[in-house]
């Protein structure tokens, strides 16, 4: 224990690096916030605790809690089933599809959902053909939850599955030889491993839903469905009251920080050592009722994710690709999208790994500081980050020319919280497993990381990198602020086309964005995972 409180020599570098990252985050996130809050006089039109804000606060927390609980709860059986069924046709494709919603701009996801569940949607067409009663309108709380679960449930599945796949072969074999029943597998193997990742997954989803904007307003059905993020947007844009916007953001951050700290109490460690991910054979795959249940979970979960994505695809096919592909702007947008996403993801994954490595080597208190540092960026609205950064950049540099750097850095900051929930549990188990080995070999620092930890961490890195790439690909708030004729991304291009009525073009751009998401996830996971496979 004493060892963990006082970092031994080899850990010092890891801790110092994490502090550097923490301060860099604070500098990039909090300084603009303060700058914005203090640079302008507040018209004082609204106080923080008037009934309007309190009502919004209640709704924000309620819908975010429901969304996070639903997404995580639904992800458990699906992740479990996917972990158990390693070989069925289409499994790889399904996993790639599960990553896609992360990279979709919210408006496109909403339109995809409407194409499936809407008044003239796919399901109603089927119901009408079967002469069954039609679905009720998707607006209101149920619409918000539907969209939030569509966005977050597949991500939760991928994160939980990543945990389950690190459980070594021997444990399953041992369990089988002990005559485990399905419920024993769940209790002793699956649940403890998923539980390690759940608090991180839950808080990530919760924060994403707290800051949800387009989905909540569009599907909410009226101003009773408003999040704090909307109030912040209103304060900053329409009322131009940066001080109020900053105060509201502060309130949002404080509340969620409290929740994160509470959740950390549930974050427990398990001592299952991760091994090289060699194709896992699950001896518990044979019972017939389990097979039916798993098939159902995978089928329903898969359909739920695939249908709206399919709708976006089929909408896109109607676009005039001859004209669209001949347009230079499209290629520029696709190029910048890729460059920005890859660079931001590289920064984000590196920063997250630095934090995760230090968390594994820290006592609970210091770990929670690093964890907060890696998470809270998500709670500062992109508009505030962008406006604050603009204020600083503008007074020192030419904003037109520095836009690219600002976009990449802010994107990296916003992607970091997506890498942390994957890397943190991975680093923790890796640390606990390898500490003694490394010490006995006298290995330290980078060589220890490269030789001992990297091989088992590789899959987690691949997933973390993928998640950060996708989230940057779909980002719109920041690029909307800094974008220009020259600096344009696919989501920006898409919104621009819609802004000039060109919904068909926009659908085509969405299709291209979707294919880019799929291609990148294929490339990233192939490159990083299969390189470790021993030659057959």
Partner 1 sequence: MTRFLSLTALILWLMCLSAAAGTLTIYTYESFVTDWGPGPKIKSNFEKQCGCTVKFVAIQDGVAILNRLKLEGASTAADVVLGLDTNLVAEAKALKLFAPHGLDPAGHSAPGWTDDVFMPYDYGHFAFVYDSDSLKKPPESLAELVEGGAKEKIIIEDPRTSTPGLGLLLWMKVVFGDRASEAWKTLRPRILTVTPGWSEAYGLFTKGEAPMVLSYTTSPAYHMIEEKTDRYKAAKFSEGHYVQIEVAGMIQSSKNQKLARKFMDFMLQPGFQDVIPTSNWMWPAGKTSKPLPKAFDLLIKPEKSLMLDPETVARNRKAWTDEWLNATSQ
Name the residue nearer to partner 1 (CB basis): 24 or 176.
Answer: 24
d(CA 389, CA 29): 9
Spatial CB neighbours of 188, under 8 Å, sequence gap ≥ 6: 175, 180
Kindly state whether residue 214 participates in binding partner 1, applying the rule CB under 8 A: yes
Q: CA 160 to CA 205: how far, in whole Å?
A: 13
Binding-residue pattern over the window 77 to 96 for partner 1, x denoting contact by CB under 8 A: --------------------
Q: Which of 397, 445, 446, 451 binds partner 1 (CB under 8 A)?
A: 397
Closest contact distance (angstroms) between CB of 45 and partner 1 is 6
CA–CA dist 237, 106 (Å, integer): 20
Smallest gap from Cβ 352 to partner 1, in A, equals: 12
Rounded to whole angstroms, the Cα distance separating 502 from 500 reads 6
336 near partner 1, rule: CB under 8 A: no
Residue 118: φ, ψ to 5°: -70, 180
Given the structure tokens 């021997």, which residue do they identify? 170
401 binds partner 1 (CB under 8 A): yes
Q: At what angle do helices 9-39 and 382-396 cross, to 10 degrees?
A: 80
Q: Distance (Å, rounded) from C-alpha 401 to C-alpha 398?
A: 5
Residue 120 interacting with partner 1 (CB under 8 A) = yes
Q: What angle do CA 520, 521, 522 make, to 5 degrees?
A: 90
The beta-strand segments (E) located in 403-518 are: none
Residue 297 or residue 340: which is nearer to partner 1 going by CB?
340
Which one among 44, 222, 534, 535 touches partner 1, defined by CB under 8 A?
Answer: 222
Is 385 one of the binding residues for partner 1 (CB under 8 A)? no
One residue of 74, 409, 478, 514 binding partner 1 per CB under 8 A: 409
Burial state string for 437-455 with b = 16 or more CB within 10 A and e = fewer than 16? ebeeeebeeeebbeebbee
Q: Which two tokens stand for residue 302?
A: 């898969």
CA distance 493 to 489: 6
Distance between CA 507 and CA 513 in Å, rounded? Answer: 10
480 is a site residue for partner 1 (CB under 8 A): yes
* Strand, helix or coil for residue 446: helix
Choose which of 12, 119, 181, 450 interacts with partner 1 (CB under 8 A).
Answer: 119
Q: Is 382 in the site for partner 1 (CB under 8 A)?
A: no
The answer to the question of residue 240 lying near partner 1 (CB under 8 A) is: yes
Interacting stretch for partner 1, rule CB under 8 A, among 183-191, 266-274, 385-393, 418-426?
385-393
> Does residue 440 interact with partner 1 by CB under 8 A?
no
Taking a C-beta distance cutoff of 8 angstroms, is the pair 153, 75 a contact?
Answer: yes
User: In the complex, what is the shortest distance from the CB of residue 37 to partner 1, in angstroms, rounded to a whole number?
Assistant: 14
CB of 329 to partner 1, least distance (A): 6
Closer residue to partner 1, CB minimum distance, 38 or 395: 395
Provide, rounded to whole angstroms, the least separation between the CB of residue 36 and partner 1: 9
CB of 231 to partner 1, least distance (A): 8
Q: List the beta strands (DSSP E) in 175-333.
A: none
* Given 205, 481, 512, 516, the residue binding partner 1 (CB under 8 A): 481
Instruction: Mark the segment that binds partner 1 (CB under 8 A) among 287-295, 371-379, 391-399, 433-441.
Output: 391-399
Single out the segment in contact with partner 1 by CB under 8 A; choices: 127-135, 180-188, 204-212, 392-400: 392-400
- Radius of gyration (Cα) for the chain, nearest Å? 23
Binding residue for partner 1 (CB under 8 A) from 394, 450, 527, 533? 394
Instruction: Verify binding: residue 20, partner 1, rule CB under 8 A.
Output: yes
DSSP output for 3-28: HHHS--HHHHHHHHHHHHHHHHHHHH
Q: Which of 10, 91, 135, 139 binds partner 1 (CB under 8 A)?
A: 139
Nearer to partner 1, 443 or 479 (CB): 479
Q: Who's near 459: CB < 8 A, 6+ residues apart?
A: 162, 165, 166, 277, 528, 529
- Point out which residues bind partner 1 (CB under 8 A): 20-21, 24, 40, 45, 52, 55, 107, 110-111, 114-115, 118-120, 137, 139, 213-214, 217-224, 230, 233-234, 236-240, 327, 329, 347, 351, 387, 390-391, 393-398, 400-402, 405, 409, 480-481, 483-485, 495-496, 498-503
């Amino acid at each position: 224990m004493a060892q963990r409180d006082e970092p031994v020599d080899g850990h010092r570098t890891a801790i110092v690096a994490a502090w550097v990252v923490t301060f860099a985050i604070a500098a990039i996130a909090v300084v603009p916030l303060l700058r914005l809050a203090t640079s302008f006089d507040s018209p004082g039109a609204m106080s923080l605790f008037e009934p309007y804000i309190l009502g919004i606060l209640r709704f924000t927390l309620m819908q975010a809690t429901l969304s996070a609980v639903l997404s995580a709860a639904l992800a458990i059986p699906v992740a479990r089933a996917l972990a158990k069924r390693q070989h069925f046709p289409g499994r790889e494709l399904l996993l790639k599809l599960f990553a896609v919603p992360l990279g979709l701009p919210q408006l496109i996801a909403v339109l995809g959902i409407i194409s499936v569940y809407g008044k003239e949607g796919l399901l109603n067409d089927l119901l009408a053909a079967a002469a069954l009663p039609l679905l009720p309108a998707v607006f209101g709380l149920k619409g918000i939850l539907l969209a939030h679960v569509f966005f977050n449930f597949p991500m939760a599945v991928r994160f939980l599955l990543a945990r389950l796949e690190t459980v070594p072969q021997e444990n399953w074999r041992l369990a089988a030889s002990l005559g485990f029943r399905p419920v024993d597998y769940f209790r002793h193997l699956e649940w403890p491993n998923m539980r390690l990742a759940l608090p991180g997954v839950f808080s990530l989803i919760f924060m994403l839903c707290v800051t949800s904007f387009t989905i909540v307003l569009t599907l909410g059905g009226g101003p009773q469905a408003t999040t704090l993020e909307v109030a912040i947007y209103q304060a900053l844009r329409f009322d131009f009251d940066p001080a109020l916007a900053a105060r509201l953001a502060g309130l949002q951050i404080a509340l969620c920080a409290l929740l994160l700290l509470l959740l950390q109490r549930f974050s427990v460690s398990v001592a299952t050592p991760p091994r090289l991910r060699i194709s896992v054979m699950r001896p518990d795959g044979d019972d017939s009722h389990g097979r039916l249940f798993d098939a159902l979970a995978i089928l329903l979960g898969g359909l739920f994710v695939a249908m709206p994505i399919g709708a976006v695809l089929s909408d896109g096919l109607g676009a005039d690709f001859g004209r669209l592909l001949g347009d230079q702007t499209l290629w520029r947008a696709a190029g910048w999208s890729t460059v920005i996403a890859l660079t931001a993801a590289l920064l984000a994954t590196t920063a997250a790994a630095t934090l995760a490595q230090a968390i594994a080597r820290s006592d609970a208190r210091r770990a929670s500081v690093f964890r907060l540092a890696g998470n809270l960026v998500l709670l500062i609205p992109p508009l505030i980050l962008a406006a604050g950064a603009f204020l600083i950049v503008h007074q020192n540099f030419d904003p037109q020319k520095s836009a690219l750097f600002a976009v990449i850095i802010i994107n990296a900051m916003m992607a970091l919280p997506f890498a942390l929930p994957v890397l943190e549990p991975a680093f923790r188990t890796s640390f606990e497993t390898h500490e003694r080995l490394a010490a006995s070999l006298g290995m330290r620092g980078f060589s220890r990381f490269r030789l001992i930890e990297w091989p088992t961490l590789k899959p987690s890195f691949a997933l973390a990198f993928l998640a950060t790439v996708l989230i940057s690909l779909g980002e719109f708030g920041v690029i909307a602020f800094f974008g220009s004729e020259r600096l344009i991304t696919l989501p920006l291009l898409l919104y621009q086309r819609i802004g000039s009525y060109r919904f068909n073009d926009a659908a085509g751009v969405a299709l291209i964005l979707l294919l880019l998401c799929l291609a990148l996830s294929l490339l990233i996971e192939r490159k990083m995972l299969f390189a470790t496979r021993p030659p057959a």
